Chain A
């Protein structure tokens, strides 16, 4: 139970960090979207995560239940394409956390998230969409955990790097999927907004995980929890 308590606490902290950061980047994301989309991504994501905070506030059940509530809040509030892509993928992937958050289930979550994202949006890598950030992130996370046997925090740091390379990869290419594809070659030179918001979320998850997995303070705060599980709260990633 203590493990779960810490995970839930970390989850709430992560959501708060993500929401704060999206609020701060609202204008930037909308500027990116106005160049190649319909100029609502920043406002949508900000509104969505404010709703996430409202809906999850005080929830102290299983982590999977909280993650499911996150997906549902996004689905209800964001709409458009980003709502089903982010919210629907989180909803589906949340089932992978039914047994709790471990290194194993967090990889399963990440893979289920990517699979649903591609299935729903029909996008493949190289089409200038959020898939370009999520795909390398998920593959890197899986490899780091399963093959390289890295501690979750290091795995997550590598995941953020991979996502960042993915975002940079969207700049020079031409969009062939999504709203930006209508612009054809005029989409070249712009950073994809969905890939960018994905990176922002991952960065905040890393920030939170660092606080909870690396800091001795986090341990001291919870006397009933002698050790924070080393396969802990990284599973919200992707």
Chain B
């Protein structure tokens, strides 16, 4: 399998240096570890917001570093949790005296390493709180988790909590906003092809030319159902109905939708999915307040997409519309 890499073992290290070179005004790297932070971190008196996890989901997480979103992003090896000591260094580097919120995706390794890091940071007198995102409606338990996986809905948590912290919210208020998003969001994904990790160099799972997987996660783990390839409209219906059945929203509810590319699908196809998605939510009597389309949380070069729906109230709308300036997401006044 062809890859634009040097040595598999150097992928994360070289990627991070390349990101810093691309956005020197926005991000910097902590010495000797795989962590990027906002260029101006820590920000005095502001609640720090940090996230992280395995690499391979770019622009997650470092793409969301900057004003109005994240202060720190830890990059583990590809699809592997960062270690607790790296997370601890990140937490301390992002503490401006008001404490730090860790936004963790529900994968056992991530949760345990963040837990340990929070304890280590607490020993150094940093106030740390944690939220665990578990928006994937496809599974109850999976290869990597007890409970539902955390996937693309995490970006909305970064956005809302980041805005609240930027507005001066204290650690409790920022955490409450993050939990509100987690309680309001659902996601379901699908794959037309497997991704190829740099270490392995071949597809993680085999899919025939005429097959696809529904209910996939973001690590090339198998989905919940393998079917013949369907049309874009049929796929969109399947994913959207899965998410809506889980959220059980009232008619007239305002929502944010995300059509997220998994890394190998062109925007044109994501727009086709979004067209159908908006038809379906309209049929359900839901009001789309904002529709995002793009590669927000990928799985290397996997072809496919996920659909996210998040119910929003006035508070979340205000926070999601709040300006932010990051490499991967910019919202202007």
In the complex, A213 has a CB within 8 A of chain B: no
In the complex, A2 has a CB within 8 A of chain B: no
Question: Would A81 and B112 count as touching, CB distance under 8 A?
Answer: yes
A92 to B144, CA, bound (A): 25
Q: Which listed segment binds A: B80-88, B241-249, B300-308?
A: B80-88
CB-CB under 8 A from B109, the residues of chain A are 79-81, 84
In the complex, A185 has a CB within 8 A of chain B: no
Q: Which listed segment binds A: B115-123, B164-172, B276-284?
A: B115-123
Q: 1/0 per position for A169-191, CB-CB distance to B under 8 A?
A: 00000000111011000000000
Q: A73: nearest residue on chain B (CB-CB)? A: B85
CB-CB under 8 A from B82, the residues of chain A are 79
Q: 1/0 per position for B7-31, CB-CB distance to A under 8 A?
A: 0000000000000000000000000
Question: Would B83 and A75 count as touching, CB distance under 8 A?
Answer: yes
Question: Would B120 and A91 count as touching, CB distance under 8 A?
Answer: yes
Question: Would A120 and B108 count as touching, CB distance under 8 A?
Answer: no
**Which range contains the number of A residues in contact with the other chain?**
20 to 34
Question: Would A178 and B108 count as touching, CB distance under 8 A?
Answer: yes
Question: Would A79 and B113 count as touching, CB distance under 8 A?
Answer: yes
A163 to B285, CA, bound (A): 59
Residues of A within 8 A of B (CB): 72, 75-81, 83-85, 87-88, 91-92, 120-122, 177-179, 181-182
A78 to B85, CA, bound (A): 11
In the complex, B224 has a CB within 8 A of chain A: no
Question: Would B84 and A87 count as touching, CB distance under 8 A?
Answer: yes
CB-CB under 8 A from A122, the residues of chain B are 146
Q: Which of A120, A179, A181 touches B116 (beta carbons < 8 Å)? A: A120
A87 to B115, CA, bound (A): 12
Question: Would B112 and A76 count as touching, CB distance under 8 A?
Answer: no
A178 to B141, CA, bound (A): 10
CB-CB under 8 A from A81, the residues of chain B are 108-109, 112
A153 to B195, CA, bound (A): 53
Question: Would A79 and B80 count as touching, CB distance under 8 A?
Answer: yes
Known: A76-B85, A84-B84. 13 other contacts (CB 8 A): A76-B84, A79-B82, A83-B84, A84-B109, A84-B113, A87-B116, A88-B116, A91-B116, A91-B119, A92-B119, A121-B112, A177-B146, A182-B141
